Amino acid sequence: MTGTLITVAPTGAEVDKDEVPALPVTLDELVDTAKRCEHAGASIIHVHLRDDRAKPTLDPVRLRDAVAALRDTTDLIVQLSTGGSVRDGEAARLAVLDAEPDMASCTMGTVNFGDDVFMNRWAFIVELHHRMRDKAVVPEYELFDLGHLAALERLLDKEGLPFGGHVHVDFVLGVPGGAAGDASTVTAFAEGVRRYLPEGTTFSATGIGRTTLPVMLASLAHGGHLRVGMEDTVSFARRQPVRGNHQLVERAAEAAALAQRPAITTVEARKLLRMRDAG
């Protein structure tokens, strides 16, 4: 059993900056939050960008600039979102990989997403899986529903392992339309990983909104890793808005230490995930 890999997802595509002023949306704000989160114990940053009006964007120049700025100022593993927002098309989502991140997300199926639909066709998933491997980008397979586990088993069976040979997944729980964010659902996913995915597969988990704490604690109990951040929750506690992403990372690191699996470093995380520069 290793220590705990902590991913921060600082921005996302859904939270409105006007409603949540602490949300990092400019490159300076992103870099500032990244530095603070690395200091607090994060080793991966899951990145969505915003434009000058703070709306979600997959602009290729902004993506490249963000990857460069995060590499210049932190040792964090840079994971770009290929999920984008529910309005982004497949071509723009695939083109995210041209920014040459260390990692990228790959969602394992279509899911209702509040009143919207987060579309992930099988052919799109296969294309993303291949392009990531060709570019030596390590995937994080995002699982929003239990069926996504079976889809990932099928993908690996038909198309082979990802770059580096290690499989890492993230349970995104509590999305309205996806799997619930509670302890028994984390248990079902953790058992599914053991049953359907290659030996040694690692998983992290995140719970949307108020499900953040039960999901975090259940993931630790199952030997899993953690994702936290303002993409997923903007409340620290009842009537207590999150002041910054570092606050969520600090709490995750405290919980991990309490579970006797303290946060791992970025160097250890690169080794765990078999990244190209793992040394």
163 near ligand KMH, rule: CB under 6 A: no
Contact range with ligand KMH by CB under 6 A, out of 65-73, 83-91, 184-192, 268-276: 83-91
Contact range with ligand KMH by CB under 6 A, out of 17-25, 68-76, 81-89, 258-266: 81-89
109 near ligand KMH, rule: CB under 6 A: no
240 CB neighbour count, 10 Å cutoff: 9
113 near ligand KMH, rule: CB under 6 A: yes
Choose the one of Zn ion, ligand KMH, none that binds residue 86, judging by a C-beta under 5 to 8 angstroms depending on kind: ligand KMH
Nearer to ligand KMH, 3 or 106 (CB): 106
Helices (H), the chain: 27-40, 60-73, 90-95, 122-134, 147-159, 183-196, 212-221, 245-258, 266-272
What is the rounded distance in angstroms from the CA atom of residue 206 to the CA atom of residue 186? Answer: 10
What is the rounded distance in angstroms from the CA atom of residue 133 to the CA atom of residue 163? Answer: 5
What does the binding site for Zn ion look like in residue numbers (CB under 5 A)? 81
Looking only at residues 211 through 230 of this chain, which bind ligand KMH when binding is defined by CB under 6 A?
none
Nearer to ligand KMH, 46 or 261 (CB): 46
Pick from 25, 72, 73: nearest CA to 49: 25
Taken in order 127, 97, 44, 113, is the CA torsion positive or negative?
A: negative
CB of 97 to ligand KMH, least distance (A): 13
Choose the one of ligand KMH, Zn ion, none that binds residue 85, judging by a C-beta under 5 to 8 angstroms depending on kind: ligand KMH
What is the rounded distance in angstroms from the CA atom of residue 111 to the CA atom of residue 164? Answer: 28
Nearer to ligand KMH, 3 or 230 (CB): 230
Judged by CB under 6 A, the residue of 11, 33, 43, 107 near ligand KMH is 107
Q: Which residues are CB-contacts of 71 (< 8 A; sequence separation ≥ 6)?
A: 78
86 near ligand KMH, rule: CB under 6 A: yes
CB of 187 to Zn ion, least distance (A): 24
Which tokens in the block code for residue 113?
A: 């997403």
Per-residue CA distances from 52 to 25, 27, 49, 59, 231 (Å): 9, 10, 10, 11, 18
CB of 260 to Zn ion, least distance (A): 29
233 near ligand KMH, rule: CB under 6 A: no
Site for ligand KMH, rule CB under 6 A: 12-14, 81-83, 85-86, 105, 107, 113, 118, 142
